[in-house]
Structure 1
C-alpha cells in the first residue's frame, strides 16, 4: 500500500498542475526543481561550518560544498562522506540537496563534501563519472587541509547520485589509488537498460515515470551501446567483489526499486558486504521530503546511523 502521505503529495501535485519533468527543457527542469524543493524539504538545520570549494576536474573546476557537524571542533579530524546529488544526471545541484547533506552531517558526526558534477545534455556520459571520481580523489588528497580522515572516506548519493557513488567505488578499486571505506546508495540507478519489472509496475503514477526516466537517460547517454558500460550500469560490472561495504535503500513504489535490490544482491553474492532496506510504501525521491513525509526523516536517520557505524 502506498503511504497516505505520499498519496496526499501526489494528489496535491496533480491539483496544482505540476508539470512532468519530461515536458520541460533541461534549463526549466533545473529551475523548477530548485524552486519547488522548499515545499517538501524540512528547514535546513544549523551545522558547525559550511564552505564552498572547488576541486580540480578533467574539464575545469568542480564546485563542492563542505559541511562539518554542529558542535564539532574546527581542528577535529573527521570521517568524510563524498556525496553526489540525484536528478537523473540532468537536474539537481548543491542547493537542491543542501538540507539532506546537513542532516547526514549532523546525525552521523561526519564531514560531508557535496559534488556539483557536470550535467547532461551539455556534458554527456561519462562527464559526470569523470567529475565524480576526480572529486573523491581531490577530497582524499586534500584530507589534511580539510581536516578529514582519508582512511575513513565514504561515497554516497541518491538516484543518479547513487549510481555515481557505486561507480566511484568500482573505479577506486580498479585503479587502486583511492581508499573508499563505505557506500551509501539511496535508490540507486544501476542498470541503464531499464528492463527490471519495477520499471513496468511503477512506471506510471508515482512521480518518477517511464517518460521521465527515458528523458533523463537520453539527455545523459548519447549512444545506446553505452548502456552496457559499467560506468553507466554498475550492475553489469563482471566483478563486484572486494568492494567497500554498502548500505542500499530502496522504495516500494519506485521504478528503480529492482535495480537497487539486484545491486545489493549481486554485491552480496560476490562476497561484498551489503545491506538492503526497502521502504515498502514510499516513492522515488522521498528521502528529501521530510516536511511532508514522516518516513523520510526515519530514512535519513537510518542512513546516518549506518554511515556513523561504518566509519567509526
Structure 2
C-alpha cells in the first residue's frame, strides 16, 4: 500500500512574522506539489495586504483564501481578517468561530483542522511570535503523524512562539526562515513514514468549536473539559481546562486560551480596571471638594470637615495608584 505524500503545508506566524513569511515563500519552487496555508495574527478590522506581499516575494501565486475553495497544490492561501482559516475535506473553510488567545484567525485553529483533515500528509511550520500560539496545534499535527518545522529562535524577531514550540515538540526540525523553503521542497517529495494516529474526541470537539458560525461552539454552551476557578477575559464566563494538566482553557462560549495568553489578558484587564479606579478617585476628589465648599457656604462645619477628609483620602489614593500605573507603563517599554 502506497504511503501518503505530504501535500499540505500549514504556516503560522505572529509578531515579526511578515519578514519570516517572506523569507520562507521566496525559497519555495514554482510548481510546488503541495498547498501552503498561512495564518498571520492580524487586526479584525480592515483588509490584509499579506496575499499581495507573498505573491510578490515568492514564485507561487498567493491569494486570500475563500470558503469552499479546493486545496490545490502550487498555491499560497492566506487567512482573511476576523476569520479562522480551516481545512475540511480537502477544501478551505472560513469561519467566525470563537477567538483563540484573543485572535481570529488563529494559528492553532488552522493547525488543528489540518491535523484532523490530513493527518500525516501535513507539515506544520511555526514562525516568529510571542507567547505560545500555535504550540497546541503543532502537538496535534505531530500526534497525527505530520512533520513539524520551527523557525530557529535565534533567527526570529520574536522568539517566544518558536521557543515554546521546541519545549513541547523537541523533535521538530529547526531552521532559519531563509532555509525553510528549500527544506520543504525536498521533504514533501518523500512519502509519510508514520501512520496517522486516531483523532481524539477532544481534538474533534475543538475543531468543531473553531468551525462554528455562531461563535458559541455551534451548540449553545460549550462543554469540554472540567471547570476551573478562572473566568474568560473576553466574556467573563467560567473557563474549563480542556484536558487535565494541559493548562489550556475553553470558556462556555468557546473562547480558547493557553495559560500564558490568559495571564497576559488578565493583566490587561486588571490594568484597565485600575485606570478606571484612578478616574473614579479623581472624580470623587473633585466632587468632595465642591461639596466641602457648599457646606462651608451654608455654615455646616461638620459636613465641610468630612468632605475635606474625603478629598485628602481620594487625592492620596489617586497619587499612589497613578505612581503604580506609571511604573507598569515604564516597565512595559
The TM-score bracket by the shorter chain reads 0.3 to 0.5
Name which structure has the greater RCO, CA cutoff 8 Å, separation 6+: 1
TM-score by length of 2: 0.32
TM-score by length of 1: 0.33
Structure whose CA Rg is larger:
2
